[in-house]
Structure 1
Amino acid sequence: MTTFDVSCIGFHVLDVLGRPVTAIPPSGRAAYIEEICMTVAGTAGATSVACAMLGIRTRSVTTVGTDDMGDFLVTKMKGYGVNCDLVSRTSDVQTSATILPVRPNGERPALHVPGSANAFTVRADTLDAALDARIVHVGGTGLMKAFDGEPTVALLRRAKELGRVTTFDLIQATPETIALVEPCLPYLDYFVPSIDEASEMAGTSNVAEVARFFQARGVKNCILTLGAHGVYVAPESGEPFTLPAFDIAVSDTTGCGDSFTAGIIVGLTKGWSLRECARFASAVAAKVAMGLGSQGKLESFDDTLQAMRSLPTRQDAPLTASQF
C-alpha cells in the first residue's frame, strides 16, 4: 500500500504571464494589457497541482531556490493540497522562472531562467520515499542537468522494481533530447508528449509513425497530444484511436499538456479505460486553456467531469491522411 496516488518528480517553475501581448513596447514605453498572473508551472509542477485539484493524493519532488519565488511555489502547492516534504531548497541558484507574454491566439513565447531545475536530483536516501506512490510521474527531461540521464533511468528502473505505474512528459524537446529519453523508454507505461516534441525526437511528423517509433523502443502506451487536432492514443494492446479536442474559446495554452497528463493520471487511479482517461484529460486541458496560466479555469474533479460530458467537440480540425 502506497502513501500517495501520484508522485510528480522533476521540473517545477514559476510562470509570470501577461495577456494579450501583441508586441514588446520600444525603449521605455508601456503597453496596457488585460491580465497578469503568477502560477505553479512545469511538466512536474503544474501536473502535481492539477492532480491535487482533481482530488488525488499528490506528492511533489523537486528543488526550488531559497528566494521569494521558491516561497511562492511551495506555499501555492501546499495550498492546493500537494505534499511538499520532498521539495528541497537551494541557495546556490534562483528558482526556475519564466516570463510568458501570451499572444491573443493563446500562443506564448518564453523568456526562461533555468535556475533550480538544473540543481535538482533525487538523493539515494530519499529515493524510495519519492517513489511511495501508485503512479510515478517524471516531467522535464532535457531541462534538469543534474537529474537527466542515468539518474532518471535509475529512478524509473527502481519504480518498476517496486511495481509502480510510470508516466513521463517533457518540454522543449529537440532532436538531441532523444539521447536522454531513449534509455528511459523501456520503463515507461504511459508516454504523454506533444506531437511537436515527439516529432522532433522521432524525426518524422507522421503521427502513427511517431507512436511506433517510441513503442518499438519500449514504451507501452504512447499518448500524443495534437493541440486543436485532439489526441492520438497507441495503446499497449488494441488498435490506436484518436479523440477530438473540445471546442472552446482558448485564452492561453500554457500548462495544457501538463494538465492533460494529470487527467490521464487521475483516470488511471480510478481504473478507467484508456479511452475514458484520454477524454477526461482532454477536458482537464480544455478547462486550463480557458484561463490564464497553468491552472486556468480548472476547479475540481466534479466540474471537469461535467465539462467532459457537456462541452462540444471540434469538428473543423481533422488530421490529414499524410499525418497518419
Structure 2
Amino acid sequence: MTTFDVSSIGFHVLDVLGRPVTAIPPGGRAAFIDEICMTVAGTAGATAVACAILGIKTRSVTTVGDDDMGDFLVSKMRNYGVDCSLVKRTSSVQTSATILPVRPNGERPALHVPGSATVFDVAPYDLDAALDARIIHVGGTGLLKAFDGEPTVALLRRAKELGRITTFDLIQANPETIALVEPCLPYVDYFVPSIDEASEMAGTSSVPAVADFFLSRGVKNCILTLGANGVYVASERGRVFHLPAFEVPVSDTTGCGDSFTAGIIVGVIKGWSLEECARFASAVAARVAMGLGSQGKLKSFDDTVAAMTSLPVRQDTLTATHQL
C-alpha cells in the first residue's frame, strides 16, 4: 500500500506569462497587454498541480532555489494540496524560471533560465519516499543535467521492481535527446510526449511510425499529443486509436501537454480504459488552454468530466506534416 497516488519527479519551473504580445517594444518603451500571471509550470510541476486539482493525492519531488521564486512555487503547490516534503532548496543557483510572451493565437516563445533544474537529483536516502506512490511520473528529461541519464534509468528501474506504474515526459527534445531517453523506455508504461518532440527523436513525421519507434524500444503505451489535432495512442497490445481535440477558445497553450499527462494519470488511478483516459486528458488540456498559464481554467475533477461530456469536438483532420 502506497502513501500517494502519484509522485511527480523532475522539472518544476516558475512561469511569468503575459498576453497578448504581438511585438517587443523598441528601446525602453512600453506596450499595454491584458494579463500577466505567475504559475507553477514544468513537465513535473504543472503535472503535479493538475493532479492535485483533479483530486488525487500528489507528491512533488524536485529542487528549487533558496529565493523568492522558490518560495512562490512551494507555497503555491501546497495551496493546491501537493505534498512538498521532498522539495529541496539550493542556494547554488536560482529557481528555474521562464518569461513567456504569449501571442494572440496562443503560441508562446520562451526566455528561460535553467537554474535549479540543472542540479536536481534524488538522493539515495530519499529514493524510497520518492517512490512511495502508485504512479511514478518523471518529467523533464533533457533539462535535468544532474539527473538525466543513469540516475533517471535507475529510478525508473527501481520503480518497476517495486511494482509501480510509470509515466514519462520530456522537454525541448531534439535528435540528440534520444540518447538520454532510450535507456529509460523499457521501464515506461505510459510515454506522453508531443508529436513535435517525439518526431525529432524518431526521425520521422509519420505519427504511426513515431509510435512504433518508441513501442519497439520498450514503451508499453505511446500517447502522442498532436495539439489541435488531438491525440494518437498505440499500445504494445495492439490497441491503436486517434481522438480529435475539443473545440475551445484558446487563450494560451502553456501547460497543455503537462496537464494532459495529469489526465492520463488520474484515469489510470481510477481504473479507466486507455480510451477513457485519453478522452479525459484531452478535456483537462482543453480547460487549461482556455486560460493563461499552466493551470488555465482547470477547476476540479467534476468540472472536467462535465467538460468532457459537453465540449464540441473539432472536425479538423491531421495536418499534412503529421499524417496518420
**TM-score (structure 1 length as normaliser):** 0.99
Q: Secondary structure at the match of 2:222?
A: strand
**Residue pair 1:12, 1:42 contacting (<8 A) in 2 also:** yes
Aligned to 1:178: 178
Instruction: Look up the SS of the partner of 2:143 in the other structure.
Output: coil
Q: Name the CA shift for 1:319/1:21 in 2 (closer, same or farther; >3 Å).
A: closer
Seq. identity, %: 82
Cα separation, 2, equivalents of 1:233 and 1:239: 8
- Secondary structure at 2:98's aligned position in 1? strand
Q: Is the 8 A contact 1:100 1:110 kept in 2?
A: yes
Aligned to 2:10: 10
Following superposition, the deviation at residue 144 of structure 1 comes to 0.6
SS in 2 for 1:62: strand
**Paired position in structure 1 for 2:80:** 80
8 Å CA contact 1:11–1:62 kept in 2: the answer is yes
Superposed, which structure 2 residues align to 1:136-285 within 5 Å? 136-285=136-285
Shift of 1:320: 5.2
Residue aligned with 1:178, SS: helix
Distance 2:230 2:104 in 1: 21
Whichever residue aligns with residue 7 of structure 1, its letter is S
3-state SS in 1 of match to 2:186: helix
- The answer to whether the 8 Å contact 1:189/1:221 transfers is yes
1: CA distance, partners of 2:24 / 2:77: 31
- Cα drift, residue 237 of structure 1: 1.4
Structure 1 unaligned regions, length at least 5: none
RMSD (CA atoms): 0.9
**Conserved? CA contact 1:228–1:317, under 8 Å:** no
* One-letter code aligned to 1:249: P
Q: CA–CA distance in 2 between the matches of 1:321 and 1:195?
A: 10
1:323 deviates by 1.6
How far apart in 2 are the matches of 1:321 and 1:180? 26
Instruction: Check whether the contact 2:18–2:101 (CA below 8 A) recurs between aligned residues.
Output: yes
Once residues 246 and 320 of structure 2 are traced to their aligned partners in structure 1, the CA distance between those partners, rounded to angstroms, is: 19
Alignment of 1:29-108 (within 5 A): 29-108=29-108
Aligned equivalents of 1:319, 1:203: Cα separation in 2: 18
Secondary structure class of the residue paired with 2:76: helix
Q: What amino acid is aligned across from residue 219 of structure 1 in structure 2?
A: V
State the partner residue of 2:19: 19
Q: Deviations over 1:139-198 (max 9, x none)?
A: 000001000000000000000000000000011101000000000000000000000000
SS in 1 for 2:250: coil
Residue 318 of structure 1, CA deviation? 3.6
Give the TM-score, by structure 2 length. Answer: 0.99
SS at match of 2:2: coil
Measure the CA separation in 2 of the matches of 1:68 and 1:49: 19
Instruction: Give the Cα separation in 1 of the matches to 2:43 and 2:23.
Output: 27
Structure 2: how far apart are the matches of 1:32 and 1:317?
Answer: 37
Partner SS, residue 272 of structure 1: coil
Q: Displacement, 1:319?
A: 5.1
User: Which residue pairs with 1:131 in the alignment?
Assistant: 131
* Match in the other structure for 2:316: 316
CA deviation vs aligned residue, 1:246-285 (integer Å, no higher than 9, x gap): 0001000000000000000000000000000000000000
Give ranges in structure 2 of 5+ residues lacking alignment.
Answer: none
Instruction: Using the TM superposition, give the Cα deviation of residue 238 of structure 1 relative to its aligned residue in structure 2, in angstroms.
Output: 3.3
Report the residue type matching 1:186 in the other structure: P
In the TM superposition, what whole-angstrom CA distance separates every residue of 1:99-127 from its partner, at most 9, and x where no partner exists?
A: 00000000000000000000100000000
Aligned-partner Cα distance in 2 for 1:74–1:178: 31
Quick one: distance in 1 between partners of 2:75 and 2:250? 28
